[in-house]
Structure 1
Amino acid sequence: MQGPDPKNPHPMTGFPQVCYIKNTIKSQNIVVGDYTYYDDPDDSEGFERNVLYHFPFIGDKLIIGKFCAIGRGVKFIMNGANHPMKGFSTYPFYIFGNGWERCSPQPEDLPYKGDTVVGNDVWIGYDSLIMPGVNIGNGAIISTRSVVTSNVPAYAIVGGNPARLIRHRFPETVVQSLQRISWWDWPVEKISDHLSAFLGADIDALSAAADA
């Protein structure tokens, strides 16, 4: 087989700070694609500790595509962090019991923004924070220490708090072609054969390979 083994948690010999995290995920509500890695010299296998307020009874999922690069300290806030806001207090009295549980909200009364979805070939920079229900498109780049509160288009670069569009990486016609090609779903042998086209941004060569 060409390329590294996606089933090897640490594909770089002697460099354990990079981990293919699909091999280390235990939660059924976190789905990660092949070749997506987390880079952390302290504990690269402990990515799940960065998925916060992810309570099984809520049922929301974190879905991350293939070939993503996730920097150290990137965190995902899930729907369990949300408090009801329609009353005069946002304090969660009910979780402490001792009579306060009588005011427990119904599940439909709790703020819920859906699954958090990260596309394929996404680069998320150091210490960024992704908020609940955000969708990040294929090929997007999240700048270091960004706070992502809304959806990110495919092949966009965003940054800041809250994260704003900095620029689009490629013209819209190229983005549409890349979305159609979906190279991340190719067999690894085919990807390996066309690395020069990926790295050289040769959309004509990739399109020809996709149509072959």
Structure 2
Amino acid sequence: MPLLNPDIAYPITLADGTPYRQTMYLKNVIDHPRIDVGDFSYFSHSAAAEETAGLLAPYLYPVSKEKLVIGRYVQIARGAFFITSSANHPMAGFTTYPFRIFRQETINGYDDLPVKDTVVGHDVWIGHNATIMPGVTIGNGAIVAAASVVTRDVPPFAIVGGNPASVIRMRFDEGTIASLLDIAWWDWSVDRIERNLAALEGCDIAALRTA
């Protein structure tokens, strides 16, 4: 039996055989027209599964113009969430109060506010209570430290932290990062990944190149 099954909601099974329902594969519990999630990306929380989209992106509505795009094998810890473009308030005038949203005939009156998709690459780890701001792109293999506020794009395989988050260090040297982006193991079949776990977990780039 494969270690990974992309078609289940709860990927962790406890010793007594019951599923651990506080960690879930996002693709299988979210039904939202503005959220796209790749296989095996998970999020942990204690609410009901149907509340997942609201916890993950509380200001992303079915009628929003922006999207939240999450790649494969993304790991999102408890309390992390995305503030998307629909959370913006008007700032060009003397007040930021969104008067128009309280009347049906003017609820769409803020179409001139900036809109940009938020994109998370593959194999990204987003730590506990991290906040991702609108329009950010997080590169493949990046790590976002706990309680960070990400306000700008994150390079692939960077470790960022703080408020606003900045690069603490790169996980690997430039040559290794280029090789990993070229290999793109997250696009492999599950069988191929499982056959090469030792190379993936042991940083054996030579073995990955020939896998």
2:5 matched to which residue of 1? Answer: 5
Could you tell me whether the CA contact under 8 Å between 1:84 and 1:111 is conserved in 2?
no
Matched to 2:88, the amino acid is N
Aligned to 2:199: 197
CA distance in 2, matches of 1:197, 1:56: 41
CA offset at residue 160 of structure 1?
0.7
CA contact (8 A) 2:34 2:64 kept: no
- The SS at the match of 1:52 is coil
Q: Counterpart of 1:149?
A: 151
SS of the aligned residue for 1:165 comes to strand
- Equivalent-residue separation in structure 1 for 2:120 and 2:156 (angstroms): 10
Q: Which residue of 2 aligns with 1:86?
A: 92
Question: Pairwise CA RMSD of aligned residues?
Answer: 1.8
Equivalent position of 1:116 in the other structure: 118
Aligned residues: 204
Which residue number corresponds to residue 43 of structure 1?
A: 47
TM-superposed deviation, 1:105:
3.9
Q: Deviations over 1:33-67 (max 9, x none)?
A: 11111122x13733212212112333211110111
In structure 2, what is the Cα distance between the partners aligned to 1:177 and 1:64? Answer: 22
Is 2:31 the partner of 1:26? Answer: yes
1:53 has 2:56 as partner:
no
Describe the shift of the 1:53–1:205 C-alpha distance in structure 2 as closer, same or farther (beyond 3 A): same
**CA distance, structure 2, for counterparts of residue 197 and residue 60 of structure 1:** 38
The residue number in structure 2 matching 1:182 is: 184
Give the Cα–Cα distance (whole angstroms) in 1 for the partners of residues 34 and 127 of structure 2. 23
Runs of 4+ residues deviating >6 angstroms:
none
Q: Is the 8 A contact 2:4 2:190 kept in 1?
A: no
Structure 1: which amino acid aligns with 2:10? H
Letter in 2 for 1:43: A
TM-score when scaled to structure 1? 0.90
Distance 2:150 2:37 in 1: 19
Counterpart amino acid of residue 168 in structure 1? M
Equivalent residue for 2:74, pick from 68, 76, 88: 68
Matched position secondary structure for 2:178: helix
Distance 1:59 1:98, change over 3 A: closer
| Contact 1:38–1:44 (Cα < 8 Å) also in 2 | no
Q: Residue 43 of structure 1: SS of its match in structure 2?
A: coil
2:183 maps to a residue whose letter is I
Cα distance in structure 2, aligned partners of 1:68 and 1:28 = 20
Question: Bigger shift: 4-13 or 193-202?
Answer: 4-13
Does the 8 A contact of 1:22 with 1:32 survive in 2? yes
Is residue 90–residue 110 contact of structure 2 (8 Å, CA) maintained in 1?
A: no
Gaps of 5+ in 2: 15-19
In structure 1, stretches of 5+ residues that fail to align are none
* 1:44–1:176 Cα change, 3 Å: farther
